[in-house]
């Protein structure tokens, strides 16, 4: 539930469009709604500027739908469920026809009004997403969708790995001037250090599980990014495009 939601509730109440009882019930749900198997956190938007996002993995499709419906009913903000399967979407969509599925990002979402905190929609407030390889694109897609739902313009540079550093250097101006950067790489994750050394912006590094053997499903990229010789780089979990998207949105919203 956003500030806007609360204001509308109160206006409707004063205008007699909603009874006192209805209004109280709606506000009571502002904190959270107990579905038994889930306590949907309706105050997250008020508290953090963004609505609760659903982690779909490990939830039954019935649980997922119920939570998304609860969120959709309580807020007019965008709704996002990450790590969702196509099968879950097939179940959710008929009941929530507004829902869309981003296959690359494996996310179900309802695109609605951006948050009040969204930054200006101009070039100087873009979030820049860079990937080391083509195989990192699904993680980038999750970060991109997240950031866009939260009202950000996003620019992407895919397949700029350091083994052909001229591909990266060709983007030097874009990187140097970026406001927030998400750097996504698997294998040895060296992209984060090189970008971190070129950029003035805060860099959010996302290790991916791309690679084999000593890449250890992203652990090597993770440790590498944490040990980066470039300062100003911080790291989120392996393949966590969503987390990077939220953090970038929070930083981009500063003024």
Q: Site residues for a copy of itself, window 223-252 (CB under 8 A)?
A: 223-240, 242-244, 246-247, 250-251
Tell me the closest approach of the beta carbon of residue 17 to a copy of itself, in angstroms.
Answer: 29
Tell me the closest approach of the beta carbon of residue 210 to a copy of itself, in angstroms.
Answer: 6
The DSSP bridge pattern shows strands 203-207 and 154-157 to be: unpaired
Work out whether 114 is an interface residue with a copy of itself (CB under 8 A): no
Distance CA 211, CA 208 (A): 8
Ramachandran sector of residue 207 (left: φ over 0; alpha: ψ -120 to 50; beta: rest): beta
For the four alpha carbons of 159, 140, 152 and 47, in that order, the dihedral sign comes to negative
Work out whether 85 is an interface residue with a copy of itself (CB under 8 A): no
Work out whether 14 is an interface residue with a copy of itself (CB under 8 A): no
Residues 117-146 that bind a copy of itself (CB under 8 A): 132-135, 137
Work out whether 151 is an interface residue with a copy of itself (CB under 8 A): no
Work out whether 196 is an interface residue with a copy of itself (CB under 8 A): yes
The residue among 157, 171, 165 whose CA lies nearest residue 190 is: 165
Residues 41-60 that bind a copy of itself (CB under 8 A): 41, 43-44, 47-50, 52-53, 55, 57-59
- Tally of CB atoms within 10 A around 185: 31
Tell me the closest approach of the beta carbon of residue 21 to a copy of itself, in angstroms.
Answer: 22
Work out whether 108 is an interface residue with a copy of itself (CB under 8 A): no
Residues 61-80 that bind a copy of itself (CB under 8 A): 63, 67
In the beta sheet, which residues pair with residue 143? Answer: none
Looking at the Cβ atoms of 152 and 193, the one nearer to a copy of itself is 193
Distance CA 140, CA 244 (A): 9
In the beta sheet, which residues pair with residue 110? Answer: 79
């Amino acid at each position: 539930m956003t500030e806007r939601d609360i204001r509308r509730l109160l206006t409707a109440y004063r205008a007699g469009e909603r009874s006192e009882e209805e209004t109280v019930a709606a506000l009571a749900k502002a904190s959270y709604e107990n579905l038994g198997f889930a306590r949907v956190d309706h105050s997250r938007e008020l508290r953090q500027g963004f609505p609760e996002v659903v982690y779909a993995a490990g939830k039954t499709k019935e649980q997922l739908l119920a939570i998304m419906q609860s969120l959709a009913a309580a807020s007019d903000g965008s709704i996002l469920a990450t790590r969702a399967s196509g099968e879950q979407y097939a179940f959710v969509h008929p009941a929530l026809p507004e829902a869309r599925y981003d296959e690359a990002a494996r996310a179900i979402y309802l695109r609605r009004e951006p948050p009040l905190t969204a930054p200006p929609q101009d070039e100087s407030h873009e979030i820049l997403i860079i990937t080391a390889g083509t195989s990192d694109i699904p993680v980038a897609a999750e970060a991109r969708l997240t950031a866009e739902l939260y009202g950000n313009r996003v620019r992407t540079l895919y397949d700029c790995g350091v083994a052909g550093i001229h591909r990266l250097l060709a983007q030097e101006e874009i990187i140097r001037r970026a406001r927030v950067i998400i750097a996504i790489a698997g294998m040895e994750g060296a992209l984060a250090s090189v970008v971190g050394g070129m950029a003035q912006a805060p860099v959010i590094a996302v290790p991916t599980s791309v690679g084999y053997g000593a890449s250890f499903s992203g652990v090597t990229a993770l440790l590498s990014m944490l040990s980066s010789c470039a300062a100003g780089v911080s790291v989120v979990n392996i393949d966590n495009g969503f987390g990077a998207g939220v953090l970038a949105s929070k930083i981009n919203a500063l003024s």
